Amino acid sequence: MQELTNKRVAVDRKPMTFMERLYIPTIIKGLFITVGHIFKKPATISYPEQQRPFSPVFRGLHILNRDEQGRERCTACGLCALSCPAEAITMEAAERTKGEEHLYREEKYAAKYEINMLRCIFCGLCEEACPKDAIYLSETVAQANYSRKSFIYNKEDLLIPNPNETH
Amino acid sequence: MLLMSIDWSFIIEKLILISVILGASLGVATYATWGERKVAAWMQDRKGPSRAGPFGLLQPIADGIKLFFKEEIIPNDANRFLFILGPSLAMLTACMASAVVPWGPSIELESGRVIALQVADINIGILYVFGVVSVGVYGIMLGGWASNNKYSLMGSVRAASQAISYELAMGISLIALLMMTGTLSLAEIVNQQHGFWENGWFTWNVAKQPLGFIIFLVCAFAELNRAPFDLPEAESELVAGYHTEYSSMKLGFYLFAEYVNLFISSAILITLFFGGYNFPFMDQVAGNVSPVVFSIICVLVLLTKTIMMILFFMFIRWTIPRFRYDQLMNLGWKSLIPLALVNMLITGAIIIWVLN
């Protein structure tokens, strides 16, 4: 029969020779290997101080975007919620009233916008579905927390800070 | 009159020496735990403790504080007295063996007073060490038996049988050495290894008794319950062996006693086989510096050698896998004891027909 790989090695069941039974040469050989490793660079990355770069296509926590004038771009059309395979997004729409033009870009806006980060699978379909460039996946990860409730991120958690507002 | 007849300065001198040696051996043992974790980490391409203080140097202190604050649990079915006696005995015997190690040459003060850097120069030093070390096994045995736990019992049975098997080979390998030195006093043995080279041969006993040294070293691993012979606490088989039921500082005592033992055993190994505090060209150094400085240099030399020995013990631990129980017994009874006997015979023959 033809061999599938060339990796097969027959088990050596010969009794050990005298030199092998002495153990000491083998132990010295082993010591050279382990002591050699002392001088190698450790593979550890000391996490909070050192961080690995994310991949360019990394999909992390969502952000809700604003336009150049600092107005919310989201119009609560619901396409992101519709596209979401995990059904993590929920929203409530509201109509923009007079005097709120500096807050919302379109006549309709999201009064409530929530993403359940425990349901979310970070697939990025909401980002692709959004016609207004309102939602993006950033390069951060969700913080650990003690309660499930704290993983439901509302609009305040998701919106990026207004560039025109000075704090 | 009775109080006057006591040499108070002698007692004070010895008390200071004892506290310094005890403090030093505890300190070295503390940092041996840190060193062990560092060595293990480096060998496995990791970093080891690095958070507590610079290079993780405060890690042993943090560990100690943690152990102190842990809940102290004594199992209901345990024999309370023996359960507490176990770790105490382990710690006590670990510290006792340091009494006969000569840490440096005697200092002769200008007043003519001689201060020996050895707590007690008893003429049966080696026998004393052996006696104390064998009592140390009782700490493990009692602890494991008193826990009333099958894993602990297995661990202590292993510890006892292992100690008995390896003490024989250890003793016989040492007899060959003692036949050459002709004395049991550790101070005398160190003095005979003065310097490094004399009469065309090394003065250190390792060059005179290479086989005896290897046997003694292997047995020392077994006596210390360290890998590859750490069967009494084999984690993968017996949970934690004899200290499965222990918590808090009683567990700390067991773990700590192991490292104190490691330090003392290394010091005794160095004393017996690697010339103790002797170093090459020591006569030239002694002629150029004051006796006190020379003694300090000697103590530092001994400490350096001891730390190298401890490092060697650690390298071995993280290199070789644990022996199986029958392999351990085979090695002890079928290899080491016959080898030690042959070594003794050869040494005797050489002493009679070559040296005389």
What is the predicted pLDDT for the residue at A103? Answer: 84
What's B144-159 look like in SS3? HHHCCCHHHHHHHHHH
Q: Are B232 and B241 in contact (CB under 8 A)?
A: yes
Q: Which residue of B has its CA nearest to A47?
A: B51
pLDDT per position as a tens digit, B71-93: 888 888 888 888 888 888 888 88
What is the predicted pLDDT for the residue at B177? Answer: 86
Among B41, B50, B315, select the one facing A35 at the smallest CB separation: B315
CB contact under 8 A, A34 and B46: no
Among A30, A31, A37, select the one facing B42 at the smallest CB separation: A37
Q: Are A129 and A83 in contact (CB under 8 A)?
A: yes
Confidence label for A69 from pLDDT (cuts 50, 70 and 90): confident
Interface confidence (ipTM) of the complex? 0.71
> pLDDT at residue B305 above 60?
yes
Among B45, B50, B316, select the one facing A37 at the smallest CB separation: B45
Residues of chain A positioned with their CB less than 8 A from the CB of B214: 24
What is the predicted pLDDT for the residue at B2? Answer: 67
pLDDT per position as a tens digit, B271-293: 888 887 887 877 777 777 777 78
What is the predicted pLDDT for the residue at A83? Answer: 92
- Most A-contacting residue of B42, B215, B229 (CB-CB within 10 A), to test interface: B42
**A40 touching B (Cβ < 8 Å):** yes
- State pTM to two decimals: 0.78
Query: In chain B, pLDDT over 90 holds for what percent of residues?
Result: 1
> pLDDT at residue B158 above 70?
yes
Confidence label for A102 from pLDDT (cuts 50, 70 and 90): confident
> pLDDT at residue B269 above 80?
yes
> pLDDT at residue A97 above 60?
yes
> pLDDT at residue A78 above 80?
yes
Query: Could you tell me which residues come within 8 angstroms of residue B104 by beta carbon, excluding any fewer than 6 positions away?
Result: B117, B277, B295, B296, B298, B299, B302
- Most A-contacting residue of B36, B38, B45 (CB-CB within 10 A), to test interface: B45
What is the predicted pLDDT for the residue at B81? Answer: 87
> pLDDT at residue B181 above 80?
yes
pLDDT per position as a tens digit, A104-119: 888 888 889 999 999 9
**B45 touching A (Cβ < 8 Å):** yes
Q: Which tops the pLDDT comparison, B113 or B165? A: B165
CA distance to partner chain A, nearest, from residue B316 (Å): 7
- B311's torsion region: left (phi>0), alpha (psi -120 to 50) or beta? alpha
Confidence label for A85 from pLDDT (cuts 50, 70 and 90): very high
CB contact under 8 A, B214 and A41: no
CB contact under 8 A, A31 and B315: yes
**A31 touching B (Cβ < 8 Å):** yes
> In 3D, which of B114, B121, B123 has the Cα closest to residue B9?
B114
Among B43, B316, B320, select the one facing A37 at the smallest CB separation: B43
Question: What are B279's two structure tokens?
Answer: 């170093």
CB contact under 8 A, A34 and B43: yes
CA distance to partner chain B, nearest, from residue A19 (Å): 14
Q: Which residue of B has its CA nearest to A31?
A: B319
Q: Where are the beta strands (DSSP E) in A35-103?
A: 62-64, 89-95
